[in-house]
Chain A
Amino acid sequence: MIGSSLDPRSKLIVLLAATCVLMTFHRWFELAIALGILLIVTLLLHLGLAWLGLLKGLGFAAFTFFIVAGLAFDLATAVLAALRLLSIGTAFFLFFQTTSPEALSNALIKTGAPYPFVFVLTVSMQFVHVLMRRVISIRDAQRARGIPVEGGLRALRYFPALAGPLLIQAFQLADELAEAMEARGFGAPGRRFRYEPNLRLLDWAIMIGSIAAALTVIFI
């Protein structure tokens, strides 16, 4: 995976530092410059197309923020809110695009987070795809018998036709998943990992550098 040569812990520190810095910016051009830098990094990592995909959802959220903040406050606040959301969203996007769930969970465990908690967290990310497929199957099954589950006020009445089977299948899937994990030794004491994350000099340098940079921006 792109950028996976760094330890996920050092990337996590960079992400947290970047988020803190972005939260402290209160001028639109500061946020615009930060977003510009993040986009350059995105392009350098050949993630431009993937970012455009993200923009479908993130752009909509930023636009909604813009409208709400514009109506509640003023134009300047609306611009700041939209830019901040786009910047922070892009920072998280870069982190998850360059860090596999396994690498992240191994790193979190190394930092002392409990294994069951970390594993369940990463597994739930995998199941988004499975559940998305289920949504499509359920929607087709209901449409095939004439139940309107797409668009319009009538669909609201039949929302349980979509939500009911999905909820039940999600619970069922979770149960089957837990059983399958148990059958492959989930929770076994003495678990070892194929890739043990190791902090190298470069990781330390990046962590110290980003913390120092964040403190500088925040306090000076």
Chain B
Amino acid sequence: MILRFDKVSYRYPGMAAWAIHDLDLAIHPDESVLVAGASGSGKSTLCRASIGLVPHFHRGELTGRVLLGGLDTRQHPVYQLFRYASLVFQNPDAQLFNHTVEAELAYGLESLGLSPSDIEERLTWVEKLLGLESLIRRLPHTLSGGEKQRVALAAVLALRPRILLLDEPFTHLDPEGAEQLRSTLRLIRSEGIAFIIVEHRLHEIITDVDRLIVLHQGEMKIDGSPRQVLSGDISTYGLNLPPLVRIFRALGWEKTPFSVQEALREMDANHLSPQIVLNFQEQNSIVAGPAPSAYRPVVEAEDLWFHYKDRPVLCGVDLKLGQGECVALIGRNGAGKTTLAKHFNGLLRPNRGSLKVFGLDTRKTSASKLARHVGFAWQNPNDQLFRTTVREEVLTGPRVLQAYDPAWCNRLFERLGLGPLLDRSPFSLSEGQKKRVSFAAALASQPGLIIFDEPTAGQDDPFRRELAQLIHELQREGRTVVLVTHDLEFAARHASRWLLLAEGHMIADGPPDALMANPTAMAKAGLRPTQRFQLIQTLKEKTKE
């Protein structure tokens, strides 16, 4: 046994509630464990307690006992424990603190007191294992998000820990990056290293783990094989179920398919009718975009070009967005999605071509004027919080823009569940609550176009449901919604149209199903069709036969 929790409870300094409570857990060498649960369920605290950061770094009150490699973490400082267990944190920026990638990888090895020759040997091993040869001389701040994560993983893997912990590693990755991380984790397992992975998006890793643990309000509710756990009653724990499991559950079928092949096998074996799934899909299909006759363009871009210094980011983009549409901008990290979205509200202006938003030429209209028409809900809500209360935070924008409508704002507070939080400091809120405040701030001036930048990243199922409802309400009010996202399952369910971007080019534009049926465009954008789509397509073909 490499890691053991004996009746462990912990609360952060000054907090009344336990972050984890009465936790018993044993992790064996070679095990791969997925820890799931809603936001605030204690997942990150479990990671920190596993490597001694709780209580040594965070202080607070710890009861019970955590044994790592046989050492009681309370009795041993973190620098004695880090050779047994390593943690990859959520924010890659905050864990790359050396001047070069090479120095980053060597840092922990120097802490271990290894000789220079041993350090070289470990560096060569980890560079090869994770394919970092081309990055080794780079400065960490010049790396992409996916590259930073690989380096952060390599930096702890070089220590050859007996157990590796990863805290929401898929959050900022595009589908290709996620696939690369899965391959890396398989390699790590083949090296005999156990891992614990904390993740909201279960489908990203569920097929690569032997065990699934569900935490809820700091307590361990279920522990077992992924199939055992997912076939039980887990509806109250706020989990993002794998998409095919979600379909089967909605239809009242007990099986837990993780892949399309499994789903088909289960359906055949249990004589489940494909037509039921197809009917279900039909009933749950997304709200269609506006009818062609009612199409009123709110965004019109023609031959849009933009470059940062000498690097082209948008290359001749043409597009139209209609009133009441929900459109998803999709592509790899660095494909130009956020850059394009920033053109809609005048934060960036095209180097060439034209862009009109609600008839206003963005090259000649100030960002503050466009802010009345375009709301932008950012991925990181902390970028905008500066007021002392939630109410002030939300109302600052409309007051500056002289667009304050008390009735609308009150409705907004109610709709986003902010009523009880209005007099609280926005800084004291949970990340999910902060996100709702940022949505309210973006909508407070009653914009006709609202852009959500990676709205589901790191969010649990209850939040995703609320967001879906909000999007549909906004559409019903005739507002246009743009989702900038890697979350294809969410985009396929809630956007009536996808715009695929690859290296600054708009390579495809159409309904999600039509684009997912276009393998060339999908491959060019580094995407794969969703499991739901694959299942439906296969069933449609089967029923035709």
Contact = CB atoms under 8 A, between A and B. Distances in A.
Q: Is this pair of chains taken from one and the same complex?
A: yes
A137 B383 contact: yes
Contacts of A160: 386
A98 B337 CA distance: 38
B347 A148 contact: no
B111 A186 contact: yes
A181 B91 CA distance: 13
Contacts of A194: 106, 109-110, 116, 119-120
A143 B348 CA distance: 11
Nearest to A195: B116
B445 interface: yes
B347 A168 contact: no
User: Which among A179, A189, A194 has the highest number of chain B CB atoms within 10 Å?
Assistant: A194
Contact of B111 (A101, A177, A191): A191
A123 B400 contact: no
Interface string B68-90: 00000000001110110011010
A193 B112 CA distance: 10
Given A146-B372, A188-B111, A194-B106, A179 B400 contact: no
Interface residues of B, number: 67
Nearest to A103: B99
Interface stretch (B170-178, B278-286, B374-382): B374-382
A188 B112 contact: yes
A147 interface: yes
Contacts of A102: 98-100, 103
Contacts of A161: 384, 386, 396
A129 B99 CA distance: 11
A172 to B, nearest CB: 8
A147 B99 contact: no
A102 to B, nearest CB: 5
Interface of A is mostly: helix
Contact of A182 (B53, B155, B382): B53
A177 B371 contact: no
B116 A192 contact: yes
A100 interface: yes
Interface string B89-107: 1010111111110010011
A130 interface: yes
Interface residues of A, number: 53
A182 B108 contact: no
Given A130-B141, A176-B91, A144 B345 contact: yes
A142 interface: yes
A127 B99 CA distance: 10
Given A102-B99, A186-B111, A143 B368 contact: yes
B400 A141 contact: no
Nearest to B348: A140
Contact of A180 (B94, B112, B141, B159): B94
A192 B120 CA distance: 13
Interface of B: 51, 53, 56-57, 78-80, 82-83, 86-87, 89, 91, 93-100, 103, 106-116, 119-120, 139-141, 155-156, 159, 342, 345, 347, 367-368, 371-372, 374-376, 378, 380, 382-386, 396-397, 400-401, 427, 441-442, 444-445
Interface of A: 100-102, 122-123, 126-127, 129-130, 133-134, 137-138, 140-148, 158, 160-161, 163-165, 168-169, 172-173, 176-196
25 contacts: A123-B98, A126-B97, A130-B93, A137-B378, A137-B380, A142-B384, A146-B368, A146-B371, A146-B401, A146-B445, A148-B400, A161-B386, A161-B396, A165-B384, A165-B385, A176-B91, A176-B94, A182-B78, A182-B79, A183-B87, A184-B107, A188-B111, A190-B113, A192-B113, A194-B106
